[in-house]
Amino acid sequence: MDLIEPRTVDEVRDAMRRASRDGTRLGIVGGRAHADAGNPVDVDRELSTVRLGRVEAYDPAEMLAVVGAGVTIGELRRVLGEGSQEWPADSPDAATVGGTVAVAPSSPRRLRVGPLRDSVVEIELVTGDGRSVRSGARTVKSVQGFDVHRLATGSLGTLGAIVRVALKLRPLPKVRRRLVARPGGLDAGRALLGSIPLPSAVVATPGSVEIALEGWPDEVDAQTSAARSAVGDVEVRDGEGVAGPEPIDAPVVVEVAVAPSKLHAALVGEDRWRAVIGVGIAWVGLPDDGERLSVGRIVDASPLSRSAIAHHLRVLREAGVLRCEKIGKEVWYWPAPDVVRSALDAVRDYLDTHFSSDGSRNAAAKRKRR
Ligand SMILES: Cc1cc2nc3c(=O)[nH]c(=O)nc-3n(C[C@H](O)[C@H](O)[C@H](O)COP(=O)(O)OP(=O)(O)OC[C@H]3O[C@@H](n4cnc5c(N)ncnc54)[C@H](O)[C@@H]3O)c2cc1C
């Protein structure tokens, strides 16, 4: 894939203008941690932001940093750490700030740090036709006009290339501690959330509940005592937070976002999951059975009516060609891999027996036909 790596915002504008004029489809990429997020489309070229990798302004007294979109999360952590501050995005080190703003992933610490959108106070975006749009303000009082920066946060590259952002920072907590309580399950997680004052995350799995605590030492000790009073023994790991989706050992991990009260319904029948209690985010591990499609997406992509599609799906499911699973309110379908494989093998055998590599029919096959 042809890659453009602009070093300045002007170069981004030129690249976007040229692509727009020539009808070239440009995809925006950062650290590529999550390039398949959302609903990716085919592109002709990619525009990478990695060379827009400068921390342009950072004054700890202002609790604000202005950074190029290509700055990596690891580099930003290092720079802000020197001022004992953080941008609480919790993405992997290799992800970029622009990519993280574009994806707006939910941190497991959301209970404490709030949604990512609230920490992005200003964005400079270059639109598809090469115009610069700046939205938001570095001081809260002077915010005017539409909140395009809030719209662009989570826009997955669909509104243009985010080239520069101003971020509201937090002090680094003095102490971090992870508690692990057993047994697990959603009910145990909810009970712990109700018993501990202001935890930064309560993450339940089928086997355990992990609680992230952070703040001043006295505060964290008091939270630890509250957890012990609620469930008895807990394992204490100082210096650690809780992780996001990574610990799920499954080829495919699906993120589910529902109202916190609907988590039970979303996880019925699943045995590999991590759920952030009180937030309504869960990650569910699924087998790699090929691409899954919800009925809604099949209906959107097809000229057939919903009832016709439901009929075809039922026939294919009963014939063993499709598998399905209900997650939350959606039913997901995917091809049964063994059936697809044997169909592909049959087609390949047919082509091998009947056609030569130059596409002409084999004489033996012609004779057989006669
Ligand atoms: C606790 C936690 C753990 C996580 N763990 C993982 C993990 O293990 N694996 C993982 O893949 N993700 C993980 N994520 C999600 C990850 O943080 C985001 O996917 C990541 O920040 C994307 O950054 P990137 O630079 O790699 O973007 P890319 O992967 O390069 O791009 C992602 C999307 O953003 C768009 N985009 C990128 N840059 C820009 C820009 N400058 N302007 C406009 N659009 C842009 C792209 O077009 C694409 O749609 C985690 C998030 C959290 C909070």
- 27: which strand partners? 46
Do residues 234 and 224 touch, judged by C-beta distance below 8 A?
A: yes
CB 156 near ligand 1, within 6 Å: yes
Reading phi first (left if > 0) and then psi (alpha if -120 to 50, else beta), residue 330 is in beta
Output the residue whose Cα is nearest ligand 1's atom 19: 34
CB 91 near ligand 1, within 6 Å: yes
**DSSP code string of 186-245:** HHHHHHHHHHSSS-SEEEE-SS-EEEEEEESHHHHHHHHHHHHHHHS--EEEET-----S
CB 101 near ligand 1, within 6 Å: no
Ligand 1 atom closest to 69 (CA): 41
Nearest CA among 261, 220, 225, 254 for reference residue 240: 220
Nearest CA among 157, 136, 171, 129 for reference residue 41: 157
Pairwise CA distance, residues 149 & 290, whole Å:
36
Nearest CA among 108, 89, 87 for reference residue 212: 108
Looking up tokens 């915010």 gives: 143
Ligand 1 atom closest to 91 (CA): 17
CB 28 near ligand 1, within 6 Å: yes
Looking up tokens 């941008």 gives: 87
CB 247 near ligand 1, within 6 Å: no
Output the residue whose Cα is nearest ligand 1's atom 8: 246
pLDDT at 330: 72
pLDDT at 370: 41
CB 6 near ligand 1, within 6 Å: no
Calculate how far, in angstroms, residue 325's C-alpha sits from the geometric centre of ligand 1.
Answer: 27
Output the residue whose Cα is nearest ligand 1's atom 1: 244
CB 201 near ligand 1, within 6 Å: no
CB 90 near ligand 1, within 6 Å: yes
**DSSP code string of 234-283:** -EEEET-----STT--SSEEEEEE--GGGHHHHHTT-SSEEEETTTTEEE
CB 102 near ligand 1, within 6 Å: yes
Calculate how far, in angstroms, residue 95's C-alpha sits from the geometric centre of ligand 1.
Answer: 6
Nearest CA among 87, 75, 69, 42 for reference residue 132: 69
pLDDT at 369: 44
CB 281 near ligand 1, within 6 Å: no
CB 161 near ligand 1, within 6 Å: yes
| Mean pLDDT by groups of 10 residues along the chain of 370 residues | 92 95 92 67 90 96 97 97 95 94 91 92 92 82 70 88 97 96 94 94 94 96 95 92 78 81 83 91 75 74 78 85 76 77 69 59 50
CB 278 near ligand 1, within 6 Å: no
Nearest CA among 195, 170, 146, 173 for reference residue 87: 170
Pairwise CA distance, residues 204 & 275, whole Å:
5
Do residues 97 and 88 touch, judged by C-beta distance below 8 A?
A: no
- 273: which strand partners? 284
pLDDT at 360: 54
Ligand 1 atom closest to 125 (CA): 42
Calculate how far, in angstroms, residue 92's C-alpha sits from the geometric centre of ligand 1.
Answer: 9
CB 49 near ligand 1, within 6 Å: yes
Do residues 181 and 238 touch, judged by C-beta distance below 8 A?
A: no
- 322: which strand partners? 335
Ligand 1 atom closest to 52 (CA): 41
CB 154 near ligand 1, within 6 Å: no
The number of C-alpha atoms within 13 Å of 190 and in the hemisphere containing its C-beta is: 9
Calculate how far, in angstroms, residue 240's C-alpha sits from the geometric centre of ligand 1.
Answer: 23
CA angle 275, 277, 283 (to 5 degrees): 15
CB 241 near ligand 1, within 6 Å: no
